[in-house]
Structure 1
Amino acid sequence: MKPIKSYDQEPVSFNLAKLKRGGEHFEVVIDPDKIIDYKKGKITEVREVLQVVDVFSDAKRAMIASHDHIKSIFGTSDMLVVAKIILDQGDVQFTQEYRENKRAEKRNKILDIIVRNAVDPRTGFPHPRTRIENAFEEAKIKIDDMKDAEDQVQHIVSALKPILPIKFAMKEIEVIVPPPYATKAYPVIERYGKIISDNWLGNGSFNCVVDLPAGLQNDFFDAINKFTKGEVTIKVLREH
C-alpha cells in the first residue's frame, strides 16, 4: 500500500491531492473513498479517482493551472499524467465532514468487532456495548483515519486493558435441539458461528458443536432459546 499523507490544518470544501513542485502548488479534486483504494492498489485508473480531470493552482477558487505552466514544471501537459504524479507524490487533504463521518463509521466498526469477540476474562462473559463505549471515552481512544478498522483493533484493545479487563476468545458450545425444531435449527445456529461437528440422535434430536466468537454467546443463547421455546440443551465445552 502506498502511504497516504494527510493533514487537517485548514478547512477545505473539496477533497484534494496537493503537490508543491518548482515553488508552485498544484491540486486535483478527488473522490475520497477512491483515493484510499488507489493507495491500496485496488484502483489503478487515475481518471476513476478524479472528480474533475483538471489540475488546479487553487481548487477552492476554481483557478485552473495553465497548460503551458504545467508543461514547464512537469514536462507534459497531459492532465492524467500530471494528476498521477500528484496522486502518487502529493498529500491528501480530506474535508472535515468526510473525516468526521469516516471516523464515526470506523469507530462503530471497531466497537462491533470488539463486542463480537471480546469477553471479561474474570467471568468469561461478554461486556455490554455501553461498557466498552465508556471505556473508549475514558481511554481517550483515537481512531486513525488512514488505517482500516481491522488493523486498529489489537492496538485499541491493548489501550483498553488498563481500564477494562478484556480479552478475545472463542467458545465451543454443544447444542441439542429436540425433534420438533431439529430440522430447521441448522441455519439458526450457523448464523452465530461455525458448526464443527453434528449428528442426529436416536430420538430425532439434532446434536452439534458450534464454534463462535465469545462475545456472541449471550445473543446465541437468546436466539436458540427463542427458536426452541426454551427446550434446547446447551453446554459450553471450552473457551479458546
Structure 2
Amino acid sequence: MSKGVFQPVGQKRLTNIAVVRLKKNGERFEIACYKNKVGDWRSGIEKDLDEVLQTTTIFHNVGKGVVAKDKELQAAFGTTDQHAICLEILAKGELQVGERERKQEYEHLFKDVAGVLVEKCVNPNTNRPYTLSMLERALRDIHFNLDPKKSAKQQALEALPLLQKEFPIERARMRLRLTVPVEAQQELEQLLQREAADVAGLDVAAGGMCVVVAQVEPGVFRDLNNFMQTTARGAGRLEVLSLAVMAEGATADEFANMGAAATRPVAAAQPEASSSGHVEHRPVGVGRVGERPTVAAPSGGGSGGAVVYARGPVSGLPEEHASRRERFAELDTLQPGWTVELRTKGDTVEAVFFHPSGERVGAFANARRMALQASKAAA
C-alpha cells in the first residue's frame, strides 16, 4: 500500500542561515539571519536590517520551522510588532555560530593580534617595526593559541613574552616630556636612571621648572605618573609625545636572520653641550633619544673598541669610574659573583656584565633584572 506524499503546511524550512536565539518568559524565540551579518550589525558596520534578516518571522525553532504565535509574542515582549522584536533579539540574543563562522572569527582575531604587535613592538636591533605578515608567521611558528573570549590587545601582550624567547622583539618605547620643580630634578634623574631611560634633553625653564624629554619602557609610565603625584606634589606635568617610538620600515633579511636581542649600552655621566651652548647633564646609563642598543664585543677578542677595564669584579673598577662602581655595587648585594668589563665605544665607555656562571648578559639593566630574580628566588 503506497503512502501519501507528506506536505507540511505550518513549516517554513530555511537553509544557509545563522540563528539568533533569546529565551524570555519561559519561551525560546529565534530569528533567521544571514551568515556573517549579525556581527556586522552589532558592531555598527551594517545599518540595513533587511541585509541582516532572512525574514522578520519569529520562530520557536528555526530548524523545524515552528512559528511563534502572536499571543506568545505579546506575553513575552509586550508587542506583536515583529520588526521591534527582531531588533531586541538581535541585541540581546545568543548567536548560534557554525564551523565556518568560527573559523572566520578566528582568522580576524589572529590578524588583529598581529596588528596590535605591529603597532606596539619593534626589532630592538634596528628600532624598526615588523610587517604584519612577518608577525603572523612568527605567531604560527610559536604555535600561539588564541582565546576567542579575550581581546586582541590582551592576547598580543600575552604573546609577546613567548615571541621574545624565539625572536628579537620588544615593546616600542614611549617618548615623554616631564616637567618638575628643580627641587625634584635629582630624584627624577635617579628614577630615569634606574629604569634605563634614554634622555633626549634636560633643561631648566623659566619659573624654576626642569623639563626632561625621555624615552621609556611603557611599563614605566605608571611609576612616572605616581612620581608626579607624590614626589612632585602635583606641581609637575607629564606629557605623552609619542606612544610608540620607532624607525620606518623593516626588511625580510632582518627577520630571517634573527639573532639574540641586543642589550643597552651604559654611557658615562658626562655633561654635553647643545647647539645653543646649554650644558646637559645626564645620569649614568642614560643616553640620547635615537641611540639604540648595540651588542658589545665579548671579552677576549673581536671588534668593539679598546678594553678600559678587563673583566673583573665590580669592586675593582678604577677610581675614574667610581660613580659606576657605586652604582654597580648593588649587583653584589643582590647576587654575589657578578663581573664587568669596560670597553670604549666611540666617545663613550660601555659596560658589559657577566653572570656569576660566566654567561655574558650585557647591559646593567639586564644584569640587575637577573640579580633581582635570583635574590627573590633565594629569599
TM range (shorter): 0.5 to 0.7
Choose the corresponding residue for 1:67, options 67, 70, 82: 70
Matched, 1:16 2:19: yes
1:121–1:167 CA contact under 8 A, matched in 2: yes
CA distance, structure 2, for counterparts of residue 145 and residue 49 of structure 1: 24
Matched, 1:36 2:39: yes
The corresponding residue for 1:217 is 250
CA distance, structure 2, for counterparts of residue 16 and residue 213 of structure 1: 46
Question: Aligned-pair distance for 1:79?
Answer: 0.9
CA distance, structure 2, for counterparts of residue 77 and residue 114 of structure 1: 49
The corresponding residue for 2:79 is 76
Question: Aligned-pair distance for 1:216?
Answer: 3.1
Question: Aligned-pair distance for 1:53?
Answer: 1.5
Letter in 1 for 2:77: F
Of the structure 1 ranges 80-89 and 122-131, higher mean CA displacement relative to structure 2 is found in 122-131
Deviations 1:85-122 (A, max 9, x none): 21222222221211112312432453366468644435
CA distance, structure 2, for counterparts of residue 56 and residue 99 of structure 1: 24
Structure 2 residues without counterparts, runs of 5 or longer:
1-14, 174-244, 255-289, 293-379
TM-score w.r.t. structure 1 length? Answer: 0.53
Deviations 1:138-188 (A, max 9, x none): xx43142685x5675445435644565522449xxxxxxxxxxxxxxxxxx
Choose the corresponding residue for 2:53, options 16, 33, 50: 50
CA distance, structure 2, for counterparts of residue 66 and residue 60 of structure 1: 17
Give the structure with higher Rg (CA). 2
Matched, 1:141 2:141: no
Report the secondary structure of 2:40's partner residue: helix
CA distance, structure 2, for counterparts of residue 63 and residue 19 of structure 1: 15
Question: Aligned-pair distance for 1:20?
Answer: 0.6
TM-score w.r.t. structure 2 length? Answer: 0.36
Aligned CA distance change for structure 1 residues 31 and 15 (closer, same or farther; 3 Å): same
CA distance, structure 1, for counterparts of residue 247 and residue 54 of structure 2: 44
CA distance, structure 2, for counterparts of residue 84 and residue 115 of structure 1: 37
1:110–1:153 CA contact under 8 A, matched in 2: yes
Letter in 2 for 1:133: R
CA distance, structure 1, for counterparts of residue 154 and residue 35 of structure 2: 20
Question: Aligned-pair distance for 1:22?
Answer: 1.6
Aligned CA distance change for structure 1 residues 34 and 98 (closer, same or farther; 3 Å): same
Report the secondary structure of 1:217's partner residue: coil
Q: RCO higher in 1 or 2 (8 Å CA, sep ≥ 6)?
A: 1
Aligned CA distance change for structure 1 residues 215 and 24 (closer, same or farther; 3 Å): farther
The corresponding residue for 1:92 is 95
CA distance, structure 2, for counterparts of residue 31 and residue 156 of structure 1: 34
CA distance, structure 2, for counterparts of residue 112 and residue 22 of structure 1: 43
Deviations 1:167-217 (A, max 9, x none): 2449xxxxxxxxxxxxxxxxxxxxxxxxxxxxxxxxxxxxxxxxx965832
Letter in 2 for 1:90: G
Aligned CA distance change for structure 1 residues 214 and 17 (closer, same or farther; 3 Å): farther
Counting only pairs closer than 5 Å after superposition, residues 188-203 of structure 1 correspond to structure 2 as none
The corresponding residue for 2:114 is 111
2:122–2:171 CA contact under 8 A, matched in 1: yes
Report the secondary structure of 2:28's partner residue: strand
Aligned CA distance change for structure 1 residues 220 and 30 (closer, same or farther; 3 Å): farther
2:172–2:246 CA contact under 8 A, matched in 1: yes
The corresponding residue for 1:25 is 28
Letter in 2 for 1:53: T
Question: Aligned-pair distance for 1:58?
Answer: 0.9
Structure 1 residues without counterparts, runs of 5 or longer:
1-11, 171-211, 222-236
CA distance, structure 2, for counterparts of residue 164 and residue 218 of structure 1: 15
CA distance, structure 1, for counterparts of residue 148 and residue 248 of structure 2: 24
CA distance, structure 1, for counterparts of residue 161 and residue 66 of structure 2: 47
CA distance, structure 2, for counterparts of residue 238 and residue 219 of structure 1: 23
Report the secondary structure of 1:60's partner residue: coil
CA distance, structure 2, for counterparts of residue 55 and residue 100 of structure 1: 28
Aligned CA distance change for structure 1 residues 215 and 164 (closer, same or farther; 3 Å): farther
Aligned CA distance change for structure 1 residues 49 and 220 (closer, same or farther; 3 Å): farther
How large is the Cα RMSD of the aligned pairs? 4.0
Letter in 2 for 1:134: D
Query: Between the two proteins, what is the percent identity of the paired residues?
Result: 21
CA distance, structure 2, for counterparts of residue 40 and residue 110 of structure 1: 18
The corresponding residue for 1:201 is none
